[in-house]
Amino acid sequence: MTELFRLFLAFAKIGGFTFGGGLAMLPMMQREIVEHHGWATENELIDYYAIGQCTPGIIAVNVATFIGTKRKGVIGGIFATLGVVTPSVIIITLIAVCIQNFQDVPAVQWAFSGIRPAVAALVLDAVLKIGKKSLTDVFTVLIFLAVAALSLFTSISPAVFVLVAGVLGILLKGGKQHAPSA
Amino acid sequence: MPLLLELYLRFFYVGLFSVGGGLATLPFLREMGEKTQWFTPTQLSDLVAVSESTPGPMGINMATYVGYTTAGIPGSIVAVLGEIAPALVIIVLISRVLAKFRSNKYVDYAFYGLRAASTGLIAVSCLSVAQLALFKTDVFSATGNFFAAVNYWALALAAVIFVGLRVFKKVHPIVFIALGAAAGIAFHLVSGQ
């Protein structure tokens, strides 16, 4: 199996089994991309999420394009992206063709009353894993707390947080250039 | 203008200007519905409900649905291709630049800071996922009683699954989602709610 095909399949699996959008995709991405295939490190995944949140387009698609491009160039990006959207196109079209008012079917509502708590647990687990990698010292913890508080209580764009934090990173780390390790 | 071309261009516009994920496309879709009469505001809110109850990125689900109702299966494919095209180009360009400067220490320092910010943003979205799953917002706004609004059954299920995740680290996330769905159906069959 060629890597392009593997990229397509892995992202189709991620797209086909994620409920609740880009963020809910994080646990699946960690499992498939970082742990199973080793296509990116946990830190790279966080970087891609950071950039994906402040560039146009759907976050899941942005992350898929990043990983695909990293592995196999532009064509890899296209395969990964098509992979992540293909299950949606098939499933939504089927639902639109076959089932009127899909969201009102009792069994669907019941299943979702259980899927939502499961997704909440999965996402919490994913955030803890990410925090362990990205919050390495007192500065990063402070940036984390400030961004979390500001984005809860203000409507400042995520792009602003990411840019300011990037500049802070350069100032903080660049300011202590004599420190032996980064 | 041929309908398929118009669909492609309108979704290209959505993909180019909505920053921050699936829900960010919503205002653009509302505007599209008003301009083209392809769908009503009520259809749009049904569409959000369907997108939330099906797997996959929400923005893609919504594009597929609008495309299908407007021009059948070709419409759904064209709408999705339009929506992903701008991101594809932009991200490929960014990742070229990144690859070039990845070993630069200042780029490394920038990522040290922005990774923490990204984690903050993700943690806050995690809160909204949890709120939707574990908290009856309608009950809270009606009674103002926080404890009456907590969905204790959902909270217990989330806690069990979280412990399961930490204990059985090798088990695939799909298994936990399937267990959640089964528990939801079983609970409603047993309790009759």
Give the tens place of pLDDT for each residue, B24-83: 777 788 888 889 988 888 777 777 777 777 888 888 988 998 899 889 999 999 999 999
Q: Which of B115, B109, B173 is nearest to A131 (CA)?
A: B115
Shared domain check, B127 and B80: no
Q: Does A14 touch chain B (CB under 8 A)?
A: no
Shared domain check, B97 and B22: yes
State residue A182's pLDDT score.
Answer: 45
C-alpha count within 13 angstroms, C-beta hemisphere, residue A106: 7
pLDDT band, residue B180 (cuts 50/70/90)? very high
Q: From first to last of the 182 residues of chain A, give the pLDDT tens digit.
A: 699 999 999 999 999 988 776 677 888 899 999 999 999 999 899 889 888 887 888 888 999 999 999 999 999 999 999 999 999 999 988 888 887 677 778 888 888 889 889 988 988 888 898 888 889 899 999 999 999 999 889 888 777 888 899 999 999 888 766 555 44
Q: What DSSP string runs through A113-134?
A: HHHHHHHHHHHHHHHHHHHHHH
Residue B59 domain boundaries: 3-101
What is the rounded radius of gyration, in angstroms, for the C-alpha atoms of chain B? 21
State residue A73's pLDDT score.
Answer: 93
**Quick check: B111 and A60 CB within 8 A?**
no
State residue A180's pLDDT score.
Answer: 52
**Quick check: A89 and B46 CB within 8 A?**
no
Q: How far is Cα B112 from Cα B130, in angstroms, rounded to an integer?
A: 28
Q: Determine contact, residues B68/A92, Cβ cutoff 8 Å.
A: yes
Number of H helices, E strands in chain A: 7, 0
Q: Provide the chain A residues 41-60 that lie in CB contact (below 8 A) with chain B.
A: 43, 46-47, 49-60
Is B106 part of any domain? Answer: no
Q: How far is Cα B172 from Cα B168, in angstroms, rounded to an integer?
A: 9
**Quick check: B95 and A70 CB within 8 A?**
yes
What residues of B are in contact with residue A159 (Cβ under 8 Å)? 19
Q: How far is Cα B26 from Cα B9, in angstroms, rounded to an integer?
A: 17
Shared domain check, B131 and B81: no
Last residue of a domain, one of B41, B69, B101: B101
Is B165 part of any domain? Answer: yes
Q: How far is Cα A161 from Cα B118, in angstroms, rounded to an integer?
A: 8
Shared domain check, B86 and B124: no
Q: How far is Cα A118 from Cα A103, in angstroms, rounded to an integer?
A: 19
Dihedrals φ, ψ of B55, to 5°?
A: -70, 165
- Number of domains forming the structure of chain B: 2
Compute the nearest-CA separation of B38 from chain A (Å).
Answer: 15
The residue type of B142 is A
Last residue of a domain, one of B48, B73, B101: B101
